[in-house]
Amino acid sequence: MTKKILLIEGDGIGPEVVGQAKKIIQFFNENTDKKFETENALLGGIAYDKVGTPFPKETVELAKQSDAILLGAVGGLKWESLPYKDRPERGLLGIRKELELFANLRPAKVFSALADASTLKREVVENLDIMIVRELTGDLYFGEPRSVTTLPDGSRQGINTMTYNSKEVERIARVSFDLAKIRGKKLCSIDKANVIETTEMWREVVTEIGQKEYPDVALSHMYVDNASMQLVRNPKQFDVMLTGNMFGDILSDTASMLTGSLGMLPSASLGAKQPNGKQFALYEPIHGSAPDIAGKDIANPIATILSLAMMFRYSFGYAAEADKIEAAVEKVLEKNIRTADIAIASSTRVSCTQMGEAILEELKKSL
């Protein structure tokens, strides 16, 4: 059956990195029995420029009709002084909310060839393979009340609210336990239960789900400040880490640096399975729109290509094809072909386009 992929290139380096993933989709279309139909949609700054909103209704409609979405990135200096509702990030947060994409899967895997690209010692990161599961629809990002107001004395006050209900915690906990079950059977839930009541409830709910439904998964809990330290001290102690929206935002970027570059890391954001079996899913690199290198054809497209591999694996059940994409990436890295962000002195330095082509070449050999 033909799968419908919605492509949202977005801003900055978005079109450049999604452009390389498109070549891979086209390759499977032309050379295998896996068939894909692609459509393009606007989101973020470019959507604001073209249609006056960072979050067009048409994009939501197209997203709902698709089997999965591949997004580049949104944002950039140009839109930073706009009112909050018009900023590119509202588009991204909006689509996550609209499709109820509550589970963000962020693998941090160190390819052997890149173990020296990390700022940490090789022995600390070599063969690292952790999965951070970040809740995406609650927490400080969406909690009410939220405001910045001017007080009677003329000073300004900002308010954001950390909120979760137990049902939201239960569903993200189950996603994490399910992943832990098929990985190393270890789950570490992150909170700040010593000082933030919301996260005390989080800890209680996760513990209860673990005891009742997943007795075979070893559950531990860690305060977020300790977790940030442990991630750089001894990251291999972790298998699956479960976090709320705010803590996950920060910890997953820390985890990303263990791997050497933001340009290497894919992610998936999954919704709930509906009764008809459909599950909304958005795949995107974890990096932003990198305005500093946009338009120069030097961005690393690997995170986006690996996001496509995750789409194949989780949305379409094409595990063999996902394996092939990942193996092609690994082969290219073993040949020391690198974009600037991961290059070492001896590397063959390539552009974004050339990296896409090198991966495609390896993929061709695998058929």
CB of 177 to ligand NAD, least distance (A): 26
Phi, psi of 344 (to 5 degrees): -115, 175
Of 289 and 315, CB closest to ligand NAD: 289
| CA 364 from centre of chain | 27
Whose CA is closest to 117, among 340, 335, 327? Answer: 340
User: What is the distance between the terminal CA atoms of the chain, rounded to a whole angstrom?
Assistant: 20
Of 68 and 293, CB closest to ligand NAD: 293
Of 117 and 222, CB closest to ligand NAD: 117
CB of 260 to ligand NAD, least distance (A): 11
> Interior CA angle at 181 toward 176 and 183, to 5°?
95
Q: Please report, as ranges, the residues that interact with ligand NAD according to CB under 6 A.
A: 13, 17, 73-76, 89, 92, 262-263, 284, 287-293, 299-300, 303, 341
CB of 14 to ligand NAD, least distance (A): 8
Of 239 and 341, CB closest to ligand NAD: 341
Retrieve residue 38's tokens.
Answer: 């692609």
Report CA dihedral (295, 301, 307, 312) to the nearest 10 degrees. 110
Of 18 and 222, CB closest to ligand NAD: 18
> CB of 213 within 8 A of CB of 171?
no
CB of 87 to ligand NAD, least distance (A): 8
> CB of 336 within 8 A of CB of 283?
no
> How many contiguous H segments (helices) and E segments (strands) does the chain have?
12, 14
Active site residues: 141, 192, 225, 249, 253
Retrieve residue 58's tokens.
Answer: 């048409």
Retrieve residue 66's tokens.
Answer: 């698709």
Distance (Å, whole) CA 109 – CA 238: 12
